[in-house]
Chain A
Amino acid sequence: MQVDTPQVLFKNRHLGRPATLAEYRAGGGYEALAATIGKRTPAEVLQLVLDADLRGRGGAGFPAGRKWQGVPTDHVGTRYVVVNTDEMEPGTFKDRILVNADPHLVIEGIVLCAYSIGASEGVFFIRPSYEGDAELIEQECRVAREHGYLGNNILGSDFSFDLHVHRSAGRYICGEASAQIKAISGLRPNPRKGGPRTAVKGLWDCPTIVNNLETLANLPGIVRNGPAWFKALARSATGSGTKLYSVSGQVARPGCYELPIGVTIREIIFEHAGGMAPGKTFKTVIPGGASTPFLPEALLDLEMDFDPMRAAGQRFGTASLMVFDQGTCLVGATLSLMEFFARESCGWCTPCREGIPAIRELLRRIEGGQGTEEHIQMLTDLLPVLDKAYCAFAPGAAEPVRGLLTHFMNEVNAHIVQKRCPFGNPPPTLRGKACGTRPIQFGPTPCPEDQCPI
């Protein structure tokens, strides 16, 4: 691993276990908080974040400071910070690694955010497969509370803020901010659109800021070292800060790497992740998590940053690079992604609830050698429908399909012409999936293959 890139978020990762409070403090931990509470006004903290141009690390890249500005200053009553640790985007595992490396960095970031927006309650929303991390955070919160970093009268000031963990029962859609608020409220996590933003009316109808965990973990650094330092961390002109890149797939060293915003994709894969796995040749990479399109080899020198990626028709997303080699069937890969999206949808709007399973069905046929030209037409027709779904879930699901049809049409055609998967994958309809965890008294009727009821 290259060590010359500054390690800000992963400063304590070398320990190979969660850093203790002492270890975190030894590296300057909680200094930002001490220098802030009672010494800076919340508005000053907000200004630092605005100046640092900290953009959300949860996928959408919305500037955090601008989001916080939406909190009405005249609100009387509770304000909430929700820490989004749902992280169910396939290919993404950075939040888990980060909590596990330095829980107090995360906690300090959360408290700084709370101070800036005047929140008194925080909810740490975490997915069920991260139960170990939920317990870790609960444990470290207790430690922080004992040391006056959390709870009543933080650091002896009159600022009080506490954090509790909310365990999800698992669905990708719970990562969407408004759905997450509903999930916390014990409602069905359908996203909400229209009406006031969550910054105005969120959890229990109070102003609520939902931020990704990594976004918040950047705050101690920004507050301690200033916006200029933060901006200088990035390598691209428009970017600021470092980013945790989750690299997985056919590379020699899959893992999570902290690198500047603006490194090229080529550098991530071929330097930091050690290049392709032995014997494998690069075919494509999904650069930003499952909701982003396949990236053709020609774009490998693209800078990993929000704006340049968008300009190139790509998406930064969660910066989760999934690398595919020449031996992997991309129709099959897209189908696997559609299985995921079809299963995880909340079922609210037609494009998502009906459209994604329709795409899945068409891809199953194509992968199984029963595809026709008409099916490709139908796929093409469905993409703009997905783009106009209720929330960003279905448009995200459309991206890999769009990438497939744009850059790898030859592979699709090969399936149709050869009437089988050229990579030798068995027809997907053969692997029936039925789930036994839902009541049978109402449908859908248990079915062998076309309706995976998971």
Chain B
Amino acid sequence: MPDLIIDGRAVSVPKGTMVIEAAERLGIMIPRFCWHKALGAAGACRMCAVMFTAGPVKGLEMSCMTPAADGMVVETFHPEAVAFRRSIIELLMVNHPHDCPVCDEGGHCLLQDETISGGHSLRRFPGRKRTYLDQNLGPFIQHEMNRCIHCYRCARFYQEYCGYRDFGPMQNANRVYFGRFDDGALENPFAGNLADLCPTGTLTDKPARFVSRRWDCLRAPSVCLHCSLGCNVTALSRYRRVARIEARENAAVNGSFICDRGRFSAGYEAIPERPRSARLDGNAVPAIEAETALAARLAALAEKHGPGSIAILGGLRSTMETQAAGIALAQAAGWRAPAFFATRTEQAATQAALAVLTPPRARSLAEIGKADAVLVLGVSPLFDAPMLALALRQASRAGAKIIVADPRPVALPLPFTHLPVPPRQFPAVLAVATGSPDAAAAAAQKRLPFAPELWPGLETAAKALAAAKRPALVFTPGLAAALPDDDRLGLFPVLAQASSAGAALLAPTDAPGLDELAADVAAGRVKGLVVVEADLFAAAPGLAAVLGKLDLLVVLDYLPTPTVAAAHIVLPTTTIFESGGILAASDGRLQAASPVQSPGDPVARDGAGSHPPRAFDRPLPGTDPAPAAFLLDRLARGLGLTLPREPLAALAAAIPALAGLDLAALPQDGLRPAFAGLAAPLPAPLPLSAESGLAVIYTDALFATDEPGRYAPLAQAQTQAGPPVLLLHADDAAALGLADGLADGLAVSLECGNRLVPATLHLSRAMARGVIVVPRVPDLAGLPPILGPCGLRRR
């Protein structure tokens, strides 16, 4: 722990800390451009020069490249250092355009800040400015190369940190140019971070252009809804639409970055189709009218068929407040226990995946980035949880071995071993990989006798995990029961959706699966269904198919789903941007989002056609949506019931893992409950037999396969038009007679329920045998777990 003095104040920092970071601990921000917490030092900009007046280093040095050492005395305000830094700014400004008012970075520009604070305001230099031509870098990042100050942050992030190789520096000397070989979209799914990283207006958020000046935006801390990792974001809103999403630092979760899915999947809150007013039997009505009718109808149903004929169903993209309110209402009204998951098995598995996260075993996403061997089971990181891929890349850069066992073809920007096995072999893979490394070869042959091509990979995995000091397992919930009982192995689950963990934490043990509910509806045991922020057509096609049998379908939602369209009564709810709330990430970490805007039509639409002046007397249009928890509470009152003032707090008090936590004051990094371990060993899931057909594996894409993202125009625009693409192992295709001739890109149809869905079949050899990989699109939601022999046909 070196002790040093910076600007007269003593500080003690861990060995290896650079002086610039040590200063930061004292709240002293030494000017910098190239240094970045996540990227480290480059020493390129020379902006962070400080004076070392005593100790092992003497004279003017860069604080980003100088490790703190005992006895150092550092003066950031030394006149020589100040003069030097001023010269650097002057040099950078020699070629920088002076048009901050039209620059998209203006107002939140590090270069602007340092120029102003350094006191450089008059140009002495007589020469002309260097100019560049810009490139089109695709839909997300705007390029204005004249603004570049050559800090190399972008290139270091893009190539070293992320491992993508289509963007970088070109040319030399004062012509260095950051771009691509030619125009085209950036390949890096984390490229959006360039907008945050670039300290100037060179690389900016393209979709956010011409929406708002950044300083005019309302800003609030939020949590990403687009996968289960719970990355922290800042939502910026202007004119009642989300203008942009930025990464928000959370050292335990996403660090400084987020993925492009998280950044560019907002916008669903502002689409014209969003349910904005209450609807009663297809007609827009004042909210109060719908609520009164709803209470009356529910009361009548309960009267007629008993309260058990009413069920409530919660979504996996809701805040925990909403989930808890639904549970509380069901309990108070004596309805059926609320359903969240497709099946009871899935619910139990998700609950088990959290329960195993005992303090010694739980790992955060950031800790996965520091692991020295990681076995990923049943997760394709880039698509199921994109930021996991970036964490794995950091682990890999530090030398970790990465092994991914997943039936799908897996692409990652890092060296890794892929074990393409179908899910039913995950337990075997797990057993061999976490077993004794010496016996691994024999075990692999014994347990996976039919797949000799996997044996070397399995042996590598076993050796790597055994030799590692900080090994970790990333797993899907289905595997929770099979995890070895070894405290050395850290655990990190990846769940299906952003609120899967919240639902698993809160759902009562007797909660039915959606499949049971479907059976109950079909059998007439359930007559009324209250759906809170879920789309049955995607989540439970079986249930969606029998909706006609219901006397009453009530939907509370903020997305214009087909379920909303089918509802008798619709109550519009607010999005996370309008109500905030608590979300539990895949590792159970509780994090709070704050509201950033009021509901209500975006100004652009509100004013359309009657651009000023506008009438002042009418109420703000589109403000009917209310937080679902609030609507549920009102409903309870309408039924003459009283819910707890804070259903979530009340519910949490009774849940061991959550009891005693102060949910109203969650810390910055979020709070991970201490889970107690599995109460009783779970029954191992029934292995699916392969012989009868192809196991169906749903897969996500980077964009628009998550539910909110499907309704985000920008995310939607990234998807390819045309029939969905299915993936099949080339040998399986041959066995099915689908591999002849131009089999790759073959037009096929897929039997889905009683429909035939047209699709395109692609073949691969980098995937498991016996499976068919299907994109997670609503059209294909209702496939059986095993596709029968006639399920796939040539078109």
Interface residues of A (CB under 8 A from B): 171, 173, 188, 193-194, 342-351, 353-358, 361-362, 365, 374-375, 378, 381-382, 384-385, 388-390, 438, 441-445, 447, 450-451, 453
Beta-carbon contacts of B307-336 to A below 8 Å, as 1s and 0s? 000000000000000000000000000000
In the complex, the answer to whether A390 meets B130 with C-beta atoms within 8 Å is no
Residues of A within 8 A of B46 (CB): 349-351, 385, 388-390
- A193 to B41 Cα, complex, angstroms: 10
B696 CB–A CB distance under 8 Å: no
B44 in complex: contacting residue of A343, A345, A348, CB < 8 Å? A348
- A409 to B152 Cα, complex, angstroms: 38
Given known A-B contacts A347-B174, A390-B44, A443 and B131 have beta carbons under 8 A apart: yes
A378 and chain B: residue at smallest CB distance: B124
A353 in complex: contacting residue of B84, B133, B150, CB < 8 Å? B150
- A152 to B286 Cα, complex, angstroms: 91
Q: List 28 A-B contacts (CB under 8 A).
A: A193-B43, A345-B174, A349-B46, A350-B45, A350-B46, A350-B47, A353-B174, A354-B91, A355-B91, A358-B94, A358-B127, A365-B126, A375-B126, A378-B125, A381-B87, A384-B84, A384-B87, A385-B46, A385-B91, A390-B43, A441-B182, A444-B130, A444-B132, A444-B175, A444-B177, A445-B132, A447-B131, A451-B130
- A378 to B152 Cα, complex, angstroms: 27
- A125 to B693 Cα, complex, angstroms: 61
B523 CB–A CB distance under 8 Å: no
Given known A-B contacts A193-B65, A194-B41, A350-B46, A443 and B177 have beta carbons under 8 A apart: yes
* CB proximity to A under 8 Å, residues B151-179: 152, 169-177, 179
B133 and chain A: residue at smallest CB distance: A443
Q: Could you say which interface size class chain B belongs to? A: 35 or more
B92 CB–A CB distance under 8 Å: yes
- A355 to B60 Cα, complex, angstroms: 18
In the complex, the answer to whether A342 meets B43 with C-beta atoms within 8 Å is no
- A451 to B133 Cα, complex, angstroms: 15
In the complex, the answer to whether B173 meets A345 with C-beta atoms within 8 Å is yes
Residues of B within 8 A of A351 (CB): 46, 88, 91
Residues of A within 8 A of B128 (CB): 450-451
* Chain A CB within 10 A, most for which of B44, B149, B175: B175
B64 and chain A: residue at smallest CB distance: A194
- A395 to B95 Cα, complex, angstroms: 22
B94 to chain A, nearest CB (A): 6
In the complex, the answer to whether A188 meets B41 with C-beta atoms within 8 Å is no
In the complex, the answer to whether B92 meets A361 with C-beta atoms within 8 Å is no
- A353 to B45 Cα, complex, angstroms: 10
A362 and chain B: residue at smallest CB distance: B126
- A246 to B704 Cα, complex, angstroms: 67
B174 in complex: contacting residue of A357, A365, A375, A385, CB < 8 Å? A357
Q: Is the interface of B mostly helix, strand, loop or mixed?
A: loop
In the complex, the answer to whether A385 meets B65 with C-beta atoms within 8 Å is no
B49 CB–A CB distance under 8 Å: yes
Residues of A within 8 A of B175 (CB): 347, 443-444, 451, 453
- A438 to B133 Cα, complex, angstroms: 13
In the complex, the answer to whether B171 meets A354 with C-beta atoms within 8 Å is no
In the complex, the answer to whether B125 meets A349 with C-beta atoms within 8 Å is no
Residues of B within 8 A of A361 (CB): 125-127
- A361 to B150 Cα, complex, angstroms: 20
In the complex, the answer to whether B127 meets A450 with C-beta atoms within 8 Å is yes
Residues of A within 8 A of B42 (CB): 348
B533 to chain A, nearest CB (A): 47
B65 in complex: contacting residue of A194, A342, A353, A381, CB < 8 Å? A194
B84 in complex: contacting residue of A378, A388, A444, CB < 8 Å? A388
- A344 to B174 Cα, complex, angstroms: 10
B135 CB–A CB distance under 8 Å: yes
- A375 to B45 Cα, complex, angstroms: 24
A193 to chain B, nearest CB (A): 6
- A173 to B127 Cα, complex, angstroms: 25
